[in-house]
A = this chain, B = another copy of it.
Amino acid sequence: MTIHILGSGSATPTVTRNPTAQLLEVSGRYFLIDCGESCQISLLRKKIPLLKINHIFISHLHGDHWLGLPGLISSMHLAGRKLPLKLFCPAGMEQILQTIFSYSETQLQFEIEFSIHHPSEKKVIWENSDLEIFSFPLAHRIPCHGFLFNEKKRLRNIRREAVEVYNIPVEELINLKLGKDWIHPDGRIIDNRLLTKDPKPSSSYAYCSDTEFAPHLASYFPEVSVLYHEATFTEELIERAKLTYHSTAFQAGEIAYLAGAKQLLIGHFSSRYKDLNPFLLESQKKFANTCLIFDGFSLDF
């Protein structure tokens, strides 16, 4: 997996931080997660072809998480897109887009397949053979959901030399990849571990866009490889965080700790802060492996 940060700011953008948008790359697929204003420009800067994005996930309907969407859709249309676009979003997104495109008299040349997600529990919203994507409720001022991208357990890797020694037929290889032992025609049982190697560990990415501190969230993404959690304020402004249904950097660190995450990314910093070092120090009190994100940041994991 690779996560690309397209926008790391909060509701009020700054000259260096656009509103929230991220792109998760999984085996050549691009999943766009939130789409704040200027998202399409950030995609251009990262040289990511707009038409390679087929799945978009919108966490909630505060403008700083979706106002780049109509422009992005319009640019996809002008670039000749024909393939349907899957849009996982809250109820209301469809009416907003219809209103906008009806006044501009835009007839999109491709279909938008709306998938309304509003689970009250963690729930699979998309999957294929390699990946499953969950939505789960966050605790914000308006309905808001996080997302978990989980690579499914990979198949074991064949040890070609051992397979040749035992002369195992090709059609049996899938069973070896699934971890089964090989029963030789002479009755011997060959341990799977002699025939295969452990696969690369699976990765996972959890995204908590806008939420107040809610310790139960950690149970939605146990032992996640990388957790993104918003950190709009430092502890000094914890009252303001509560009032606006946002989190502090310390609280983001606590969620990462409770989840047993391997790495924590924090962002969505209020534009009032000029020095972001206090965010890092605060989060690291609870969770050492914290990273402050910025526009243009990418991470392979």
Q: How many copies does the complex hold?
A: 2
Contact of A38 among B41, B61, B105 (CB under 8 A): B41
Q: B residues within 8 A CB of A95?
A: 99, 103
Q: B residues within 8 A CB of A67?
A: 37, 67, 70-71
Contact of A74 among B64, B75, B92 (CB under 8 A): B64
Q: B residues within 8 A CB of A45?
A: 15
- Chain B CB count within 10 A is highest, among A68, A100, A104, for A104
Interface residues of A in 33-71 (CB under 8 A from B): 37-38, 40-41, 44-45, 61-64, 67-68, 70-71
Task: Check A162 for interface membership: any CB of B closer than 8 A.
Answer: no
Task: Check A78 for interface membership: any CB of B closer than 8 A.
Answer: yes
CB-based contact A104/B15 at 8 Å: no
Q: B residues within 8 A CB of A141?
A: 105
Say which one of A6-14, A121-129, A176-184 lies at the interface with B. Answer: A6-14
CB-based contact B40/A13 at 8 Å: yes
Task: Check A165 for interface membership: any CB of B closer than 8 A.
Answer: no
CB-based contact B103/A61 at 8 Å: yes
CB-based contact B14/A44 at 8 Å: yes
Q: B residues within 8 A CB of A70?
A: 63, 67
Task: Check A243 for interface membership: any CB of B closer than 8 A.
Answer: no
